[in-house]
Amino acid sequence: MQILLTNDDGIHAPGLWALHHALAGHHAVTVVAPDRERSAVGHGITLHQPIRLESARVNGSAQGYAVSGTPADCVKLGLAELFDRRPDLVLSGINPGANVGVNVNYSGTVAAAKEAAIAGIPAIAVSIKAPGRDHLAAAARFAEGFSRQVMARGIPTGTFLNLNFPDLPMDEIRGVRWSRQGTDGVAQHFEKRRDPRDRTYYWQACDQQDGYAQTDVDGGALAGRFISVTPIKCDMTDYDTLRTLSEWEIPLSPDPEADR
């Protein structure tokens, strides 16, 4: 396959190159990643300043392209400028830290995969629960084999897969679980501080939600020592509510007396 590989942790991130190492022996891989960490930027794109695309060497040998923008920029620019034909697959990761539940909405890793799906290209976002490096290689090997299965069987246009690993050796993982995205909110925490000029500022904590009660959600699967795979659609329309709303009669000029 011809693969575009990206992430949100930057061109030098260990998870990116662990995935590259697993893929490069089997596929043509082009790395297009941010030139610095862009975690939690969501699906932002760069509009009001120029974007630079430069060749980069990692560890003296591995080559890729560093982009002075967001993960979504990397996919958009990579598709527009670096491929004679559209790649077969876009992979984003491996992110050090799970992207499950409401965090999916903030994740640059997930946004890169979503940008590819918007363009009609199959895509997978890959994350591992803890920020350690001990199990990156095994997760990358699994992701490579999983990618081949996905391409052989196919996924609907406009849908991408969110793949999350527990931070465990493969022989301690209980299996793969197809799961839905969790919707429970994460506890909000800001640390209030004072700067040297005695002005107040806030540092937002990265709280993780660990108390998942349901095993069919992404975070619950991880807590149960399963690999979680969640299909996510780019079309965010609530069709149940749309059907309900379509029964409403909304006049063009509402009567201001009606609610009195």
Taking the CB of residue 254, how many other CB atoms lie within 10 A of it?
9
- State the Cα–Cα distance between residues 77 and 118, nearest whole angstrom: 14
The pLDDT of residue 63: 87
List residues forming the annotated binding site: 8-9, 39, 95
φ, ψ dihedrals at 95, nearest 5°: -80, 135
CB–CB of 136/15 below 8 Å?
A: yes
The pLDDT of residue 185: 63
The pLDDT of residue 234: 97
Does 19 map to a domain?
A: yes
The DSSP H or E segment spanning 193 is strand 190-194
Six token digits for residue 38: 């862009």
Give the strand pairing for 2-6 and 89-96. Answer: parallel
Does 196 map to a domain?
A: no
Does 198 map to a domain?
A: no
Six token digits for residue 260: 């009195």
Does 9 map to a domain?
A: yes
* Residue range of the domain that includes 116: 2-186+212-246
Residues constituting the chain: 260
- Low-confidence stretches of the chain (pLDDT beneath 50): none
Does 88 map to a domain?
A: yes
The single-letter code of the amino acid at 11 is I
Residues 6+ apart with CB under 8 A from 130: 96, 97, 167
Query: Taking CA 220 as the corner, what is the angle to CA 217 and CA 222, rounded to the nearest 5 degrees?
Result: 110
The pLDDT of residue 188: 72
* CATH number where 74 lies: 3.40.1210.10
The pLDDT of residue 258: 61
CA proximity to 183, closest of 205, 226, 212: 212
- State the Cα–Cα distance between residues 86 and 129, nearest whole angstrom: 31
Q: How many domains does the chain have?
A: 1
Does 13 map to a domain?
A: yes
The pLDDT of residue 186: 66
The pLDDT of residue 206: 63
120-168 pLDDT, tens per residue?
Answer: 999 999 999 987 789 999 999 999 999 999 999 999 999 999 999 999 9
- State the Cα–Cα distance between residues 55 and 130, nearest whole angstrom: 30
Does 253 map to a domain?
A: no
List residues forming the annotated binding site for a divalent metal cation: 8-9, 39, 95
Does 229 map to a domain?
A: yes
